[in-house]
């Protein structure tokens, strides 16, 4: 079934945190009042949310980039910057999120499940936060943290929402080719389709979409193994809606009424529950003159279509969407589980030391970058704070482990210094 896996990439960029402000109160009789620089706001997150309304990853293939907005900088008079707005991105239930190294980081198995794909950066502290007894006039503030910026691989095992069931050569593949993105082989002889085709149907742009399966034609005795269709009946077991496509031309050996009776009987023999699903009775090739014979003899069709001329194809498409969404609405949460195990892999944080050259080291990692994120790196007080923070992150230990010697050049982001343990 591997050909039914939908794949796409997601590039999630969360908002950056706003910077803290450096500001001093203005008072009539004091040259420089106390610090009153407010904090920056946090950046917004990029959040994924599972939704039945989406059936494929097509929208990510069109455009993989999803971003949230930045936090606003703090300002004077202790005014905090506003938080950035988070972005909620709908993904189909059944989506598996993997890192670029192909490790599973999240699976969406139930409706409305949410997960943060990229965390917004924290807003920086304003200079008011750095006021101490010894430090009356801190001349620096914290920069906002950079929001996470991460690529993911997305995978989805496509499941049919609607199955087209019919005798060979009735036009199933032709129909799926005009309503969906599937491009199956079409030919005027029975058993053209040898394997199921899945196609995604988009209705109203991308607000609602569903997956249609075109399976090989069924014939009398299919449930007992006759023809090809039997092998593929299992593909329609999970379909929410069935469409019986009946040939109105003279090329089928049975009239439509007989066709549907045989099809239902075969499904009944295979798995009786299949007949409890909502279904539509659709006449195919309705534009042919010979079709009028059946259309007037009292048998009731839900739709009489022509995939070739497009007759009634649009209303059929909408009706299928309606039945699918009704069915999905009644589905219990958590009915579909794709894998037994869910592995959560935290996004790398902390600090990492890499040796670049003789006694030259580069430090990366989110926490290390945050630690040096102060506005004025020449301010001695600011340097003391950075020193304390890096100590807390065990920078000294990590540098020793990496083989650094006193005097080594150490680079963290834009900040370079000579290391004295």
Nearer to ligand GTP, 47 or 316 (CB): 316
Which residues, in sequence order, are CB contacts of 105 under 8 Å at separation 6+? Answer: 97, 98, 99, 152, 343, 344, 345
Q: Interface residues for Mg ion in 250-309 (CB under 5 A)?
A: none
Q: Which of 320, 62, 103 is CA-nearest to residue 201?
A: 320
Judged by CB under 5 A, does residue 370 bind Mg ion?
no
- Nearest CA to 276 out of 312, 232, 242 is that of 242
Contact (Cβ atoms closer than 8 angstroms) between residue 374 and residue 140: yes
Out of 53, 288, 336, 393, point to the residue binding ligand GTP (CB under 6 A). 288
92 binds ligand GTP (CB under 6 A): no
Report yes or no: 122 and 42 within 8 Å, Cβ to Cβ. Answer: yes
**Contact pattern for Mg ion over residues 131 through 170, marking x by CB under 5 A:** ----------------------------------------
* Smallest separation (angstroms) from Mg ion to the CB of 113: 36
Kindly state the smallest distance separating residue 286's Cβ from ligand GTP, in Å.
Answer: 7
Helices (H), 53-98: 58-62
185 with 192: CB under 8 angstroms?
Answer: yes
Closer residue to Mg ion in complex, CB, 143/173: 173
Stretch that binds ligand GTP, among 185-193, 314-322, 343-351, 362-370 (CB under 6 A): 185-193
User: Within positions 195 to 214, which residues make up the interface with Mg ion, using CB under 5 A?
Assistant: none
- Least Å distance, CB 243 to ligand GTP, is 12
- In a 3-state reduction of DSSP, which class is residue 212? strand
Asked whether position 306 contacts ligand GTP by CB under 6 A, the answer is: yes
Binding flag, residue 312, ligand GTP (CB under 6 A): no
Nearer to ligand GTP, 193 or 208 (CB): 193
**Angstrom distance (rounded) from CA 328 to CA 159:** 13
Name the binder of 174 from Mg ion, ligand GTP, none, CB < 5-8 A by kind: ligand GTP
**Which one of 75, 86, 95, 173 is in contact with Mg ion (CB under 5 A)?**
173
Q: Say how many C-beta atoms besides its own lie within 10 A of residue 276's C-beta.
A: 7
**Nearest-CA neighbor of 8 among 49, 69, 42, 58?**
58
* Residue 193 in contact with Mg ion, rule: CB under 5 A: yes
Nearest to 218 by CA among 199, 244, 239: 244
Cα separation, 220 vs 232, whole angstroms: 15
Instruction: Identify which of residues 115 and 191 has a Cβ nearer to ligand GTP in the complex.
Output: 191
Would you state the structure tokens that stand for residue 330, as one six-digit string? 């009644």
* Positions in the binding site for ligand GTP (CB under 6 A): 166, 168-174, 186-188, 190-193, 216-217, 284-285, 287-288, 306-308
């Amino acid at each position: 079934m591997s050909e039914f896996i939908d794949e796409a990439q997601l590039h999630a960029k969360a908002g950056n945190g706003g910077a803290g402000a450096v500001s001093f109160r203005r008072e009539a009789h004091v040259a420089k009042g106390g610090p009153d620089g407010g904090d920056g706001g946090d950046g917004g997150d990029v959040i994924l949310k599972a939704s039945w309304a989406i059936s494929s990853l097509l929208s990510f293939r069109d455009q993989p980039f999803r971003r949230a907005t930045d936090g606003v900088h703090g300002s004077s008079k202790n005014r905090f910057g506003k938080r950035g707005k988070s972005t909620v991105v709908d993904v189909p239930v059944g989506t598996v999120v993997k890192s670029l190294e192909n490790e599973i980081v999240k699976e969406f198995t139930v409706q409305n499940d949410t997960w943060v794909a990229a965390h917004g950066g924290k807003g920086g502290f304003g200079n008011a936060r750095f006021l101490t007894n010894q430090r009356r006039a801190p001349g620096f503030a914290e920069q906002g943290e950079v929001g996470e910026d991460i690529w993911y691989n997305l995978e989805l095992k496509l499941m049919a929402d609607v199955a087209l069931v019919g005798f060979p050569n009735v036009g199933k593949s032709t129909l799926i080719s005009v309503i969906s993105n599937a491009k199956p082989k079409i030919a005027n002889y029975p058993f053209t389709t040898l394997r199921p085709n899945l196609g995604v149907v988009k209705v109203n742009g991308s607000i609602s979409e569903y997956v249609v399966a075109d399976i090989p034609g069924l014939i009398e005795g299919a449930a007992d193994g006759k023809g090809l269709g039997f092998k593929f009946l299992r593909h329609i077991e999970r379909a929410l809606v069935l469409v019986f496509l009946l040939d109105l031309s003279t090329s089928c050996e049975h009239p439509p009424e007989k066709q549907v009776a045989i099809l239902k009987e075969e499904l009944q023999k295979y798995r009786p529950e299949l007949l409890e699903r909502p279904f539509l009775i659709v006449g195919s090739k309705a534009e042919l003159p010979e079709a009028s014979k059946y259309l007037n003899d009292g048998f009731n069709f839900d739709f009489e279509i022509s995939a070739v001329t497009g007759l009634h194809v649009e209303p059929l498409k909408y009706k299928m969407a309606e039945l699918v969404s009704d069915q999905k609405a009644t589905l219990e949460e958590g009915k579909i589980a794709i894998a037994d195990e869910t592995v959560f892999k935290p996004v790398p944080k902390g600090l990492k030391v890499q040796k670049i050259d003789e006694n030259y080291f580069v430090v990366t990692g989110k926490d290390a970058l945050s630690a040096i994120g102060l506005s004025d790196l020449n301010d001695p007080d600011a340097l003391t704070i950075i020193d304390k923070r890096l100590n807390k992150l065990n920078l000294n230990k990590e540098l020793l482990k990496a083989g650094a010697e006193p005097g080594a050049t150490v680079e963290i982001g834009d900040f370079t210094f000579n290391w004295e343990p």
